[in-house]
Structure 1
Amino acid sequence: MVNFKSLVVAYLAAVPAISAHYVYSILTIDGQDTPDWRYIRQNSNNIQPTKHFLNAGADFRCNSGSFANAGRTQVARVNPGQRIGFKLWNRGKILHPGPSTIHMSKAPGDVRQYQGDGDWFKVYQDIICGPQNPLRDSDWCSWDKAEFGFTLPRDTPPGQYLVRVEHIAIHGAQSADTEFYFTCAQIEVTGSGGGKPGPLVKIPGLYSRDDPALRFFIYGARSYPYTNVGQHAVWTGGNTGGGGGGGGGGGGGGGGGGGGGGAALWGQCGGQGWTGPKTCSEGRCVVSNEWYSQCVP
């Protein structure tokens, strides 16, 4: 006879492993949820992560099988200045350590026919928000979060875009077992913005095999500073192509000041090679590591 208590114990032991996998299926606009998969291309990977990204090829853009669903996925109209966010399909929370990023790529025409083989630019990044001395799981900005997103820069050029959301789970990174969770939304930006987004990158090509951010040993030297994933900055507006906002190695969010003046709250304000603002329009500039300083309250 099957022991009921044993079954319960086995089930409870399995739950964390099941719930630890996830997929972004909900686009939010100014805090309002839209239905699952209405504006996000559904993929065939479902909740399973991509682990060997160098072998993923074009599927590393919007995930396996997603382009087959592009034509039946609707296009959300978004105005510059509105907030775009993403939630998990089961309204769950992220419980893996690691950074989150959002990239955009402008389609040459109808985004439903676009495979994402053009240029991409980063509009959001969160990494470490806690003291990291020593580094704890709860120090990651995305830890235990149900949703994250960014404010669409007011000078974003009009047109249709892919918006790629990604969380990188690095709990197994030391053994080359990094997990990538990502999907793409389809949006149309209105208005007449004349900004020049950048820096520009290609996908695949976003990360390298030896990227230290993808091989970080979180269970070893836990106070070791985490470096900027992808090594390119967040664009938050302006015509510099380099952006003026958050995105370097330590910090929480896609905010940041473009153009003149100080960086906005959570924006980047220093670091090796940084050419943007060195002061903060709000808060104070705090050094996270040699690559990144951030405006914090």
Structure 2
Amino acid sequence: MCAYKRRGFIRLGLLHRTFRLNILFSMKSIVISAAFILAKVASVIAHGGVTSWSVGSTTYQGWQPYLSAAGQDTAGRPYSSYNPILDAVDPTIHCNNDGSNGPIPESITIAAGSDITAHWTQWTHAQGPVTVYMASCGATNCNNVKSSGLQWFKIDEAGLLSGTVYDGSWGTGIVMDTLEWTATIPAALKPGAYLIRFELLALHQANTPQFYPECANLIVTGSGTAFPSSDYLKPIPGAWGANDPGVNIDIYLDSAKTQTTYPVPGPPVWSGSNTPPPTSAPVTTPPPSTTVPTTVVPPPTTTAAGTVAKYGQCGGIGYSGPTGCVSGTTCNHVNDYYYQCL
């Protein structure tokens, strides 16, 4: 009987211990899950992405990176997170993905000359430029067109707006305050299917640029006939490099405290005219001449009496002419090869 009770107590003890361990493991799982959720929230809290677009009073749903792709009916191109692209020539930097559309692609119809606004739900970086690009899809719509390999042209930019690179006002500072940016489709642009690309470039980490690009499908209408010339068209990646002065920049250097200009990466803005963009031709200085200058010497002039006229040669190595000078002058040494009557 005692042995039986003892075994019963042992079983009860084991059950009690197992129950406690299960509770502890459950609590630990809850703590780990909570920490994971908080970490995910913290990982995106300082970053951002375009989550909607608007034309006039109409708002269009953008891509939602933290929801399932299935069922997302939007003109926005898919992207996976609010995290930045850190490589200036990353193969996904065109639209922050592999170039594909979402499962249910739509298009935003907009007349040339009208405004389109991109909206963010969060953004906290105030140092850096905002740029807006477009690219022709070369088809009736962009549904089956990949953004990789297209030729892009810039329609809007805002870099350093005032002050110095160190503590001035930037385009991304406006986005931080308003969580939106508005660009105008060039009025002269010919109708067609285009991609539009909004990019925030954060420069708050020295020499470590953070690119945040997002795209949407457009159908541009109107009576325009213009399209950018090759001077304005660039591939992305390829429109800038890792060593471009607007990309590889430390805004905290002492020199940045007095620097009041900033070169926005990429081609010049195309406003509808194909006038070649201004270029600053380098000032070149011709190399110094290696020719030894020679002194123009008047030919020796002799008088009938065999004397040399004023300024004529009267001696020197290899000279075999008269050595006497006319009255009032004497033969003077200029160099070992030339004596002159002066």
Q: TM-score, normalised by structure 1?
A: 0.68
Change (3 A) 1:119 1:80: same
Instruction: Kindly indicate whether residue 78 of structure 2 is the aligned counterpart of residue 42 of structure 1.
Output: yes
- Displacement of 1:13: 11
Structure 1 outlier segments of 4+, above 4 Å: 11-17
Q: Alpha-carbon deviations, 1:17-59, whole Å to 9, x = none?
A: 6421111121121364322332211212x111111233x22x1
Q: CA deviation at 1:211?
A: 0.2
* Distance in 2 between residues matched to 1:29 and 1:185, nearest whole Å: 13
CA distance in 2, matches of 1:241, 1:187: 27
Report 1:101-250 matches (<5 A).
Answer: 101-109=131-139, 110-116=141-147, 117-132=149-164, 135-136=166-167, 139-143=169-173, 144=176, 145-174=178-207, 177-198=208-229, 199-220=232-253, 221-240=256-275, 242=277
Aligned to 2:51: 25
Q: Secondary structure at the match of 1:216?
A: coil
Matched residue SS, 1:219: coil
Match of 1:72 in 2: 104
Q: Which residue of 2 aligns with 1:87?
A: 119
Residue 170 to residue 207, structure 1, CA distance change in 2 (3 Å): same
Partner SS, residue 94 of structure 2: helix
In the TM superposition, what is the alpha-carbon distance from 1:65 to its structure 2 partner? 4.4
Task: Give me the whole-angstrom Cα distance separating, in 2, the residues matched to 1:42 and 1:14.
Answer: 19
Matched, 1:98 2:124: no
Task: Measure the CA separation in 1 of the matches of 2:260 and 2:82.
Answer: 30
User: What is the identity, as a one-letter code, of the residue corresponding to 1:85?
Assistant: T
Native 8 Å contact 1:173 1:214 kept in 2: no
Alpha carbons 2:77, 2:100 under 8 Å: kept:
yes
Summarize the Cα distance change of 1:64–1:114 in structure 2 as closer, same or farther, 3 Å threshold. Answer: same
Give the partner amino acid of 2:250: F
2-side partners of 1:35 and 1:118: how far apart?
24
- 1:53 pairs, out of 88, 93, 97, with 88
Q: Measure, in 2, the Cα distance between the counterparts of 1:60 and 1:81.
A: 27
- CA 1:136–1:14 in structure 2 vs 1: closer, same or farther (change >3 Å)? farther
Change (3 A) 1:92 1:35: same
CA root-mean-square deviation: 2.8
CA contact (8 A) 1:43 1:66 kept: no
- Aligned-residue sequence identity (percent) comes to 26
Change (3 A) 1:241 1:16: farther
Q: Give, in angstroms, the shift of residue 157 of structure 1.
A: 1.0
**2-structure distance, mates of 1:189, 1:105:** 12
2:280 to 249, 273, 279: 273
Query: Compared with structure 1, are the counterparts of its residues 119 and 18 closer, same or farther at alpha carbon in structure 2 (3 Å cutoff)?
Result: closer
Query: Deviation digits for residues 216-247 of structure 1, max 9, x if unmatched?
Result: 111112322443222521011124364xxxxx
Specify every segment of 5 or more residues in structure 2 that has no aligned partner in the other structure, as ranges.
1-36, 64-73, 282-342
Instruction: After TM superposition, give the deviation of residue 147 of structure 1 in Å.
Output: 0.7
Deviation at 1:203, TM superposition (A): 1.2
Contact 2:125/2:202 (8 A) holds in 1:
no
Tell me the distance in 2 between the aligned counterparts of 1:95 and 1:204: 23
How many residues in Structure 1 have an aligned counterpart in Structure 2? 227
Q: Deviations over 1:130-164 (max 9, x none)?
A: 222x7326x11220231112111111111000111
Provide the rounded CA distance (Å) in 2 between the counterparts of 1:12 and 1:111.
38
Name the SS for the 2:183 alignment partner: strand
Distance (whole Å) between structure 1 residues aligned to residue 189 and residue 197 of structure 2: 16
Classify 1:115/1:173 alpha carbon distance in 2 versus 1 (closer, same or farther; 3 Å): farther
Report if the CA contact (8 A) 1:216-1:226 is conserved: no
Distance in 2 separating the partners of 1:75 and 1:68: 11
Deviation at 1:188, TM superposition (A): 0.4
